[in-house]
Amino acid sequence: MLGHLMSPHAAKRLRTECCGEINMLLDEPTAKCFVLHENNIPKEDDKDPIKLFGFISCLVECIYTKRHYIGKNSETLNMKAVKADAENLYAARPKEKQYHVELYEFCRKEAFKLYTLIKASPAGLVIFKNSCKPYFVFVYLCQIEYHKKKTCPYFMWQGNEDDETMLSQCKAAKEQCYKIDGLTPPEQK
């Protein structure tokens, strides 16, 4: 898509730069959960990975609970809720809707493989002991890096917040791609 706008080398470089960061969706459920769990954030000098994993697992459980993504048996991802959420979030943007569903479909399977391997190990027993729902941590970790490992469509482009020039280039290219698709870019929060 960017090939029409710039040289192939420049387009590839821009895509790489715009897709280099993790993608944490800072929506309302995430913000509410951060507020609810902020007292449990391990201190900066606390190097205990078990405490950190426990905090992250409870935070992620909270986020997925608020989004209704946790299934009835509480160890699965509710894909009906994911699809319904995609319908609401991306009603006018079909590529984003499809990407959202594919991301969770892929990540739930990958997370299950990894979680199954780790949970029976001695290290897994120790790490998971005081955690909330550890499976969902693996889903979340996959989710925030999915665009770096699989595909990075233009609507996932962000850029590095420390590089204002690249940030503005990513934003401009992203907006141009929305226009090429005949869509209005979503409002930035």
* Alpha-carbon distances, residue 26 vs 108, 121, 146, 173, 189 (angstroms): 20, 33, 16, 22, 9
Identify whether 188 is part of a domain: no
pLDDT at 103: 93
Question: Which structure tokens are listed for 66?
Answer: 């608020």
pLDDT at 83: 96
The domain in which residue 103 lies consists of 20-151
Identify whether 14 is part of a domain: no
Residues in Cβ contact with 26 at an 8 Å cutoff, skipping those fewer than 6 apart: 189
pLDDT tens readout for residues 17-72 = 888 777 776 788 889 999 999 888 888 888 888 899 999 999 999 999 999 999 77
Identify whether 141 is part of a domain: yes
pLDDT tens readout for residues 140-152 = 999 988 887 777 8
Identify whether 122 is part of a domain: yes
Identify whether 169 is part of a domain: no
Identify whether 110 is part of a domain: yes
pTM of the model: 0.82
pLDDT tens readout for residues 117-147 = 999 899 998 999 889 999 999 999 999 888 8
Identify whether 186 is part of a domain: no
